[in-house]
Structure 1
Amino acid sequence: MTPRERLIVGLDVPTVREAETIVETLGDDILFYKIGYQLAFAGGLEFARELAESGKKIFLDMKLLDIDNTVASGVENIAKMGMSMLTLHAYPKAMRAAVKAAEGSGLCLLGVTVLTSMDEQDLVDAGYEYDPHTLVLKRAEQARIAGMGGIVCSAEEASAVRKVIGPDMALVTPGIRPAGADKGDQKRVMTPADALKAGSSHLVVARPIVKAEDPKAAARAILAEMATAL
């Protein structure tokens, strides 16, 4: 894959109008966009459908988790929307239900292991007995067994996760920050080049592009850095 196929720009903005402006500004430089809760609940689901119909690839970051039938029904409808990727929390039963529902659709299902905003103390506070690294690897293995299309994890875990899931599954890493960029609320981050070298297949970048003074220049700089690492 080319850098353009690997870079996913997070449309983490509050309105569809702002998202439209970003897409218009970035033009043909960017193929892949992520839409999460913030935009989804402000008209972003229909916008996602429109982007897909225009030829863009869409990563719908919904982090689904519910009873099996509900997960399956949601996945079936999301596949009909023409989405390229969809996240759900990497719980074995939910993943198995989602995989069955997505059969034949081309939708790449991604298991969310541990949020990149969470560190070991956060997991302790949430009642988990595992540290982030151990829990990420455990869930990665469960995702592989369930037949998922890929994994979402921190780039810090990418190398170890790649050994667990093998060469074919997608490995999507948020928390990507160019050298010198503000980490924001992310706790486990890595530069684009280092993330690719560690085994990531796709990089999610939001603020360093969408909040830049010149988003197009910022995106092109990241694409260029990715090209040097490939």
Structure 2
Amino acid sequence: MKAKDRLIVALDVDSRDEAMAIVRDVGAHCGLFKVGMQLHNSAGFSVTEEIMALGYPVFLDLKFHDIPNTVGKAASVVSRRGVKMFTVHAAGGQEMLRRAVQGAQEAQKAQGSGTAGVPLVLAITVLTSLSQGVLNDEVGYGGTVEENVVRFARLAQAAGVPGVVASPREIEPIRAACGDDFVIVTPGVRPTWAATNDQARVMTPAEAMEAGASYLVVGRPITAAPDRAEAARRVAEEMAEGLARRVK
């Protein structure tokens, strides 16, 4: 897989027109587009379908977190719609996670597309905006960020979830705990030439890929750039540098 195929561009915008302009600008320079709550709640599922109709895979980041039955049915719905990846919160517990995987698998089986068409279920560990102090003092979790991320990753893996979303700072301990085949999708990535914005635990694209990330999610450094295509190319180049160092 080429470095650019591991780049997920986040469409964190308010409208279908804004999103599709970004898709047109950078579609040739990335692997997937992320549709999150902001765009989904503004434009509905139709924008995801429009992106997929152009041949681009979609990472649907709605972070399902509810009772197991509800999450399982939601997983089935989005799987039938053809998304490549979607997210659930690991904090929902093992049964909820298990039902999400089952919902995805059963939806694809019903459509006759086999296991190759099953979307990648990803468990949210600790949001990249959360610092150590916020995690302990406000959210109320004991232990370090790293300890909580690894605990959630192990929980997800035990439930049959094939991967997690985690900051680049926790890639290496997740790899050590869950193995080389476990998928790690990494937001909180900022090139040296971009601002960190509201991310608390960041790395450069090269550092994150060298550390063992499977995919990187990048938003504003690309979508807010004067030349989006050039920004995406620069990020992919940095990712390729990190991958080259990782395989040596």
2:108 is the alignment partner of 1:106: no
Inter-partner Cα distance in structure 2 for 1:137 and 1:26? 33
* Paired position in structure 2 for 1:70: 70
* Paired position in structure 2 for 1:96: 98
**Cα distance 1:133–1:194, how it changes in 2: closer, same or farther (>3 A)?**
same
Give yes or no for contact 1:53–1:82 (8 Å, CA) kept in 2.
Answer: no
2:125 is the alignment partner of 1:123: no
**Cα distance 1:44–1:26, how it changes in 2: closer, same or farther (>3 A)?**
farther
Deviations 1:93-124 (A, max 9, x none): 21111111112451100010000000111112
- Which consecutive residues of structure 2, in runs of 5 or more, have no partner in the other structure? 106-114, 244-248
Inter-partner Cα distance in structure 1 for 2:3 and 2:187? 15
TM-score by length of 2: 0.90
Deviations 1:127-170 (A, max 9, x none): 21222111001001111111112110000000111111211121
Inter-partner Cα distance in structure 2 for 1:157 and 1:63? 19
2:214 is the alignment partner of 1:201: yes
TM-score by length of 1: 0.97
Q: Which 4+ stretches in 1 moved above 4 angstroms? A: none
* Paired position in structure 2 for 1:136: 149
Aligned-partner SS, 2:189: coil
* Percent identity for Structure 1 against Structure 2: 40
Residue type at the aligned position of 1:96? R
Aligned-partner SS, 1:144: helix
Give yes or no for contact 1:153–1:173 (8 Å, CA) kept in 2.
Answer: yes
* Paired position in structure 1 for 2:202: 189
The structure where helix makes up a greater share of residues is: 2
Q: CA RMSD in A?
A: 1.1
* Paired position in structure 1 for 2:110: none
- Which consecutive residues of structure 1, in runs of 5 or more, have no partner in the other structure? none
Q: How far did 1:51 drift?
A: 1.5
Give yes or no for contact 2:23–2:51 (8 Å, CA) kept in 1.
Answer: no
The count of residues paired between Structure 1 and Structure 2 equals 230
